[in-house]
Amino acid sequence: MESNPVSKSPSPEEAVTIIEDIAGRHPGFRRAHAKGIGLHAQFTPNGNAEPFTEAAFLRGGTAEVIVRFSHSAPMPDQSERLVPIKGMAVQFSNPSGEPVSLVMANAPIFPTKTPEAFMRLIQVLGRRDIPFKERLGILKDDTELHTVPALLKQLKTPSSFAMTQFWALHAYILSTEQGTRQPARFTWIPARTEWTLPFATGDMELDLLERMADGPVQFRLLMTLAALDDPTDDPSAAWPDERPVIDVGVLTLQERRTDNAEDVKFDPTVEVPGFSCSDDPVLHYRAPVYAESFRRRTAEREDG
């Protein structure tokens, strides 16, 4: 593993290699969120987003989408109970170009403001030559990572994908044909908060499939609108709770995909008219890193 701490953003190739050096190489799998479940689903906008954006996926009719729930570990055989961060990626079709994706996690903010700080975080947490308590001490001494230990203590492994809230972490810019612009953040919340049947399998993928067999599993898409002074370039900074939150549609899970969405690349930086990326450096950094991970795992599958 690279011993020198990251002081500048590694290239996409270097970033993926850092992850491989820490977690080992697992041919054919994503370099992060290696284990997951892919589903067919539908998204139905309700019209509430129309005053803010011309983006078709937020204001059109019911459309087919791809959903992947995942565990954040880069090792496909890692115990899911040991890794509290879970992911939810949703890809909306775009007939005129690349599909739009919202890539979310079950945490309201990103742990760092910059890509280089995040890579340092990965390096510190990935060290096995020192106790975990000492690793936390290293984080506390880093001016850009000193809040991470407190965030880690707050995290708890969810019991079910279907009962978990997911945040997109990054801000996007919504716009209309008239030229208005509105920064926003997105959140998926479970449509149901109670279930009549107990689910205690311990396997989150099996739990999700059992719940889908029991009845519709749905999520509401919420859109939080920023004020003028809310940061759009810092995913580690929360916006005040009193910001307007608008329900813009419902996602309905349908069935498991036979390919488990393993060949789907969820790029959170694809833009369409009415929907564009903010000035968040972490958001922009993710696209080339995802592309490099996709390139490597695709080549490995072809070779295998």
pLDDT in tens, 94-104: 888 899 999 99
pLDDT at residue 13 is higher than 80: yes
Model pTM score: 0.89
pLDDT at residue 271 is higher than 60: yes
Residues 32-43 have a mean pLDDT of 92
Q: What is the pLDDT of residues 192-235, one digit of tens each?
A: 877 655 555 578 999 999 999 988 999 999 999 999 999 999 99
Domains of the chain (ranges plus CATH)?
A: 12-303 (2.40.180.10)
> Cα–Cα distance between 30 and 27 in angstroms, integer?
9
Q: What is the pLDDT of residues 147-165, one digit of tens each?
A: 888 887 788 888 899 999 9
The whole-number pLDDT of residue 1 equals 38
The whole-number pLDDT of residue 22 equals 78
Which residues, at least 6 apart from 207, have a Cβ–Cβ distance to it below 8 Å? 159, 160, 161, 162, 199, 201
Residues 27-38 have a mean pLDDT of 84
Average pLDDT, the chain: 88
